[in-house]
Chains A and B, each alone.
Chain A
Amino acid sequence: MGDTQRKVELAQTRLDTISPPQGGWTAEARAAALVRLQSQGLPARRDEYWRYTRPDTLTIATAPNAVPEQHSEDGVFEHLDALKIVFVDGIFDPQASDDLSLDGIIIERLATAAEFDIHWAKPIYGSLEAAGQTPVARPLAAFNTAQASDGILIDVKSTPSKPVSVIYRHKDAGSDVTLHHVVKVAEDAKLELLESGAAAARFNHVLEIDIADRGQFHHVRAQGPDHGCRLVTHLFTRLGTESVFKSFTLGANGLLTRNECVIELTGDDAVAHVAGAAIGDGDFHHDDTVFITHDALRCESRQVFKKVLRNGAVGVFQGKILVKKDAQKTDGYQISQSLLLDGDSQFLAKPELEIYADDVVCSHGSTSGAIDDDALFYLRARGIPVDIATDLLTLAFLAEALLEIESDSLSSAVGDRLEAWLAQRRS
């Protein structure tokens, strides 16, 4: 049996276990995604794009169990003034959620909006995902478009007075969840979207963001800290002239995380920043895969990823900047760094640049290092115990990635949580 045939069969087995929603305005997109998926098949170990991350547990028919952990703490962003939308194991929780109305924007749920035949989200749903399938196939995203059970659709007509905060809760050890969100940002409008929490034992997440000229989208999410979860996420975005996209992800724990981000700079002078900080301990595999296409003049892109790994944790970074022939004056920057707290951990980085324009500035770098002994001694000589000193230096290492969060209150919320997670691990 050939590789392709095996992958296609894998997809079929997976599809056989679920029945996607029928009819409505998403039907066409779902059917098209299904065709994509059936021809691509699901990712297998030998796929080049999955070289450093084993996809098996993301593709098998039944999700491996993950016992939900009891957390005494609130969600990372729960104390912030934001419109709350809560999903428990992928099921919308109306009691825990705020009323889905906010000035300047329209918020709907995919599950309830899908029954109509006409919808503003129709030209976006599945289409950014489909565009993101070339030059590299992303079958798990096609699977998501075809199968998503719910999601949030946000039409940002003008800038709302507060952020939208999607909170995921995990209570069922066997939950296997597929959610698909769509955000459309109108000209000159701005949205802050927050996502937090462990969503399910296995979570397949897609977020498509269409940003019109001068629109802005700021995204901050915190994944974790439930340890047993498996997670595959895709962000697909298309940026208009002078628009801004900024996304930051904090990752902690999780058996397996694959965060893909596919950015297409289609309008001149657009800006896209994507950043991440991850801490992994033990049986932890964390993969950031980014693909940024510059297809317009004078756009800026920036990737900043930092991972702290110990006790055999594995970090992966695959980041690519593609600069098309006419994308002159592109400014592309990429850095991926790991702090390895012991000799057992691994960081695998694959930075790629593919440039066809001749007047661009692109740089990339990747480093792996250990805790600085001199700094550690200095802190200890002042009476700071070795574990606290190590945490201080760990936070210092991650600080550069946290700087990518534009809002100070969000940045400190993420920083505080990171500190608390580190402290918890110490105790």
Chain B
Amino acid sequence: MLEIKDLCASLADEEKQILKGVNLTVEAGKVHAIMGPNGSGKSTLSYVLSGKDGYEVTGGSAALDDEDILEMETEERAAAGLFLAFQYPIEIPGVGNMVFMRTAVNAQRKARGEEEMSATEFLKEVRARAKTLKIDADMLKRPVNVGFSGGEKKRNEILQMAMLEPKMCILDETDSGLDVDAMKLVAEGVNALRDKGRAFLVITHYQRLLDHIKPDVVHIMAEGRIVKTGGPELALEVEQNGYSDILAEVA
């Protein structure tokens, strides 16, 4: 599904190299987790994959179902099936949440040459999906993320994911700023979307999210590289001993 080879990237205005050769393959139907200390390049990886301005790819490749995504515009990557759940979802005053989601769904459909969703069809779909995420009608009507609590913003991300039905979902520290109940709700939303045709890359600092979203593979990232890969037990090891042991071991 997602194949990253020797990916190197730096900040565009600085010489500073952040990703120093990331190798990672995520298979369809699997959940991979990336853990790592602050500044290891986890969020940068998610931004580079989704095409945010300000980063320069200096080497390597990233392909989604054998298609080179690094050559694509951000919106093309989304239409190709890549989804990034933001660590800090952006507030957009003046743009209604529903209008936003419908525009996104239909833009992607159009880009893929599929038929656009009618207003009624969309409304029915979004209401049903919102209900399972405990998102009320008011949140759908409000401007995108404006006045939403931290938990509401993250649930809104998952709602967008559910509506867009991407192939490859990257969750960038989706657990940050969530209390235990909110985290459960978000995890349930994610689990409901697990599917043999869909893969997840869950970026997190803490093992606790992985109690709810059970990963198949856990990677440890440090200084711009994946330094260790293992099963779910690797996350538990981090939780108990921190990163220092692992980093010392690979150094």
Contact = CB atoms under 8 A, between A and B. Distances in A.
A383 B79 contact: yes
Interface stretch (B15-23, B101-109, B205-213): B101-109
A380 to B, nearest CB: 4
Interface size class of B (residues with CB under 8 A): 20 to 34
A383 B92 contact: no
Given A378-B86, A384-B104, A386-B75, A399 B94 contact: yes
B78 interface: yes
28 contacts: A374-B90, A377-B53, A378-B144, A379-B92, A379-B100, A380-B74, A381-B75, A381-B84, A382-B104, A383-B78, A383-B79, A383-B105, A383-B108, A383-B164, A385-B73, A385-B107, A385-B111, A386-B73, A388-B107, A389-B75, A392-B99, A392-B100, A392-B103, A395-B95, A396-B93, A396-B94, A396-B95, A400-B94
B12 to A, nearest CB: 13
B160 interface: yes
Given A373-B53, A388-B103, A388-B107, A380 B75 contact: yes
Interface size class of A (residues with CB under 8 A): 20 to 34
Contacts of A383: 75, 78-79, 104-105, 107-108, 111, 164
Contacts of A377: 52-53, 74, 90
B50 interface: yes
A96 interface: no
A375 interface: yes
Contact of A380 (B78, B100, B144): B78
A393 interface: yes
- Residue among A374, A375, A382, A389 with most chain B CB within 10 A: A382
Contact of B94 (A378, A384, A397): A397
B89 interface: yes
A57 to B, nearest CB: 35
Interface string A64-90: 000000000000000000000000000
A386 B107 CA distance: 11
6 residue pairs, one from A and one from B, having the closest CB atoms: A396-B94, A383-B78, A383-B108, A382-B104, A380-B74, A378-B90
Contacts of A399: 94
A375 B107 CA distance: 17
A392 B50 contact: no
A380 B84 CA distance: 11
Given A380-B74, A396-B95, 9 more contacts: A377-B53, A379-B100, A382-B160, A382-B164, A383-B108, A384-B75, A384-B103, A386-B75, A395-B95
Nearest to B52: A377
- Residue among A374, A375, A379, A389 with most chain B CB within 10 A: A379
B108 A375 contact: no
